[in-house]
Amino acid sequence: MSETDARPARSAAEEPGRPAGDATSWVRRLVVAAIVVSLGVWVSLPTLAIIAALVFFIFMHELGHYVTAKAAGMKVTEFFIGFGPRLWSFQRGETTYGVKAIPAGAYVRIIGMSNLEEVDPAEEGRTYRQKPYWRRMSVAVAGSTMHFLMAIVLFFVVVSVIGTPDPTSPRWTVSAITQGSAADAAGIQLGDRIVSVDGNRFASFDDMSTYLQANPGKDIDIRVERDGRQSALDATLGTREVDGSMVGFLGVGPEFPDTRVGPLSGAVEAVQATGETMWLSIKGLGAFFSPDGLSGYLDTLTGSRPAPAEGEPPDESRIISVVGAVQIASQSPDIAGAVYFLFAINVFIGVFNLVPLLPFDGGHVAIATYERIRSRRGRRYFADVAKLMPLTYAVVAVLAFVFLSSLYLDLVDPVSLQ
């Protein structure tokens, strides 16, 4: 959501010095088209799908602002996807819609977002600042609300449409075999289903693991099902150390069958998961912007903090850029994992936008609430946003630093979940 000037929006054809269809405009369009074609050639289809999803999320965020502003009777002069040079636009009524060259965001321009903006007196009644408190609040929180709603839908899709692995199912199959392990020596293959061990059938993979760990070095009989047929295999369990004790080790990893929940249960789980993830996002933001969190991030940025070893989770002080988000989502082994990651991204963006500082949407929430508290006996109080500008510039500077540094890390040291 933007606070910029109140001049009537013009389409490309109406702007002075820019005739419709001029050469410069077409050159920009051709350059962007060439970039899109290049992405299609050099970037994988899953990566393109993730990029398209992120652009869609941004569009929906701004659509929330646009719809609530229109419903409140505010004047919206522009609705653009992207920033920078204009590629394509058209005007309907008082609003210009279009696409700009840099797909790093979007914006809706509403007149009179603060007392700093000069507006034609004839249109003062249609400014954001003149609308009732609940109308201003509805516009300010609409973007984050759209993210939370999309998160609920995405989680519902995962648990009720795509399905999630059920680790309690006895119908698991072998999806990984440790080289040189007892399973490798016995001839177990990927896709096999272990029916029994020493004649014992187990209700879950964890139950079988408990039995195997209790018998290090033991000769065991394994019955596996392969291509609809069962066969017997012999193996001698290996050993490995767990919490200071030697336990039995077969060397197989499981792939669990997917399970789905009903629509009602899925909706309840989606709302609960969104709420829980919102709280985790708030805690994560607080931890990152704490002295310890910022110190850890600077250590990561300067290379003084060692990178996580292979198989370890990513550094918690690491924050990812849009490039990093695309990289991580593209690494997901299945569509459920990618959709779940997009769910988490939506929740985080929704929470992040409610930080009570300008230029975030939460800054407008804070100002509107402050004005509401200061208003007395029907006299409306208007906050002087000029007093907040030094703090706003500081916030923008921090955001720019985090954006550029996280982008740098994601390019030179990509996060790997493999």
Cα(184)–Cα(233) distance, integer angstroms: 11
Length of the chain: 418
- Tell me which DSSP letter residue 127 carries: S
Residue with token string 């997901």: 332
Amino acid at residue number 105: G
Residues 6+ apart with CB under 8 A from 314: 308, 415, 417
Q: How many whole angstroms separate alpha carbon 6 and alpha carbon 66?
A: 16
C-alpha dist (Å) from residue 312 to 180, 330, 338, 357: 22, 19, 20, 35
Reply yes or no on whether 62 is catalytic.
yes
Nearest to 75 by CA among 15, 124, 138: 124
Looking at residue 386, what DSSP letter applies? G
Please name which of 163, 167, 159, 164 lies closest in space to residue 254, comparing C-alpha atoms: 167
Please state the φ and ψ torsions of residue 330, each to the nearest 5 degrees.
Answer: -70, -20
DSSP per-residue letters across 109-163 = EES-SSTTS---GGGGGGSSTTS-HHHHHHHHHHHHHHHHHHHHHHHHIIIIII-
d(CA 133, CA 137): 6
Active-site residue, selected from the candidate residues 15, 62, 94, 241: 62
Task: Give the Å distances, CA to CA, from 242 to 239, 369, 372.
Answer: 10, 55, 60
CB 227 within 8 A of CB 252: no
29: its two tokens: 């369009």
- Using alpha carbons only, how large is the chain's radius of gyration in Å? 28
Query: How many Cα atoms within 13 Å fall on the side-chain side of residue 417?
Result: 13
Residues 6+ apart with CB under 8 A from 35: none
- Are residues 157 and 343 in contact, defined by beta-carbon separation less than 8 angstroms? no
**N-to-C CA span, the chain:** 37
Residue that the structure tokens 């499981």 belong to: 254
Residues labelled catalytic = 62
